[in-house]
Amino acid sequence: RSKEKGRNTYTIYHSVMDINGYKRFSLEKGLRKAIDENELELHYQPRVDAKSGAVLGAESLIRWNHPEWGLLSPVDFIPLAEERGLILPLTKWVIRRACHQIQAWQERGMPCVPLSVNVSAKLFLLKDFLVHVNQILKETRIKGEWVEIEITETSILDNQKLVESTIAELKEIGIKVSLDDFGTGYSSLAYLTQFKVDTIKIDRHFIRNVTTHTSSATVIKSVIHLAHGLGMRVVAEGVETVEQLTFLKQQRCDEIQGYIFSKPVPVTAFNQLLSKERLTPHRIHDPSEFEN
Ligand code: C2E
Ligand code: MG
Ligand code: MG
Ligand code: MG
């Protein structure tokens, strides 16, 4: 199954459903090579100020431009990378790539925003994860303030103490931490008081129902209120409709990330977004088309 959404949209993903045993084996071999040989790329999705429409930052999302099978979605190869012990080199590649991007913007005097990167919490359990991060910052001469790390709450369960101390250490070097996919894990509310994250990102499955299910609306309202009470910022993920946007603005949600402003795009297209003072919401033709 592959979905094509027109030229220049860069979303022709090949689903894991087409991947048989042979392909899977060769994917594993290929991923190692991909990390070394430039087959990976980052796309950037803007995080937009709910009030003004200004681009405040972007999430870096990895894609694998596979020589035979085209652009592969992270959903299909991140789990593989985790299984095969490749998640550390892959994540280092992502962080280094994001830092190089910031460096390029700064050197050319171009508009520049902080970039967030996704880190599997498995890596938080590695003693020297911070050593790697520090090394990349030093090597690229980028301040920690330009980088944000997203971790998912489901992955925190394993070793809460270590996750807590890693968050604290990241903060010490200026790196912000956000709790990704908020609302999909367990005991979410308890986490808010335990883990001193800067930002929570409400999962798009909650956002999707916000204008159709009163219960989703109530949950989101409370989460925003609670997060603000704890001094955290709130990002809504997967915002697709004007109705969702209106609701989130009414509830004082801080930032919006979703197709209503932009899909994740390659850097050239992202630079064009950065050159605008504010982004305007646009209707996407059929929200369900993007179901995944
Ligand atoms: P995530 O971190 O929750 O990233 C947000 C995902 O939601 C992205 O999918 C993005 O394209 C999608 N999205 C954003 N706005 C909308 C919208 O309005 N509608 C819909 N339907 N979807 C929207 P993507 O790029 O396929 O990434 C999927 C997941 O793969 C990410 O979820 C993250 O967990 C993982 N991932 C991506 N890049 C990396 C990476 O560099 N490292 C690691 N460890 N994981 C990554
Ligand atoms: Mg994320
Ligand atoms: Mg998320
Ligand atoms: Mg996710």
**What are the C-alpha distances in Å from 235 to residues 157, 190, 229, 259?**
22, 19, 15, 14
The residue-averaged pLDDT of 76-97 equals 93
pLDDT in tens, 154-188: 667 668 888 889 999 999 999 999 999 998 876 66
Q: How confident is the model at residue 8 (pLDDT cuts 50, 70, 90)?
A: very low
Task: Give the closest residue (by CA) to ligand 1 atom 17.
Answer: 238
> Which ligand 1 atom minimizes the distance to the CA of 63?
38
Torsions phi, psi for 288 (to 5 deg): -70, -20
Helix pair angle (214-229, 242-250), 10° resolution: 40
Decide which of 103 and 124 is more confident: 103
Task: Give the closest residue (by CA) to ligand 1 atom 3.
Answer: 181
Residue 201 DSSP one-character state: E
Task: Give the closest residue (by CA) to ligand 1 atom 42.
Answer: 118
Residue 290 has pLDDT above 60, yes or no: no
pLDDT at 280: 96
Supply the ipTM of this predicted assembly: 0.98
Scored b (16 or more CB within 10 A) or e, 105-124 reads beeeeeeebbbbbbbbbbbb
> Cα of 109 to ligand 4 centre, how many Å?
32
Lowest model confidence (mean pLDDT) among 130-134, 211-215, 240-244: 211-215
pLDDT at 288: 52
pLDDT at 264: 98
> Cα of 62 to ligand 3 centre, how many Å?
13
For residue 62, the ligand closest to its alpha carbon is 1
Residue 4 has pLDDT above 50, yes or no: no
pLDDT in tens, 270-279: 999 999 999 9
The residue-averaged pLDDT of 78-101 equals 94
Pocket test for ligand 1, best of 76, 118, 257 (most atoms within 8 A of CB): 118
Residue 5 has pLDDT above 50, yes or no: no
> Which ligand 1 atom minimizes the distance to the CA of 181?
3
Residue 19 has pLDDT above 80, yes or no: no
Mean of the per-residue pLDDT values of the chain: 88
Task: Report residues whose beta carbon is within 6 angstroms of any ligand 1 atom.
Answer: 45, 61-62, 73-75, 78, 94, 118, 120, 150, 180-181, 204, 237-240, 257-259, 264, 290, 292
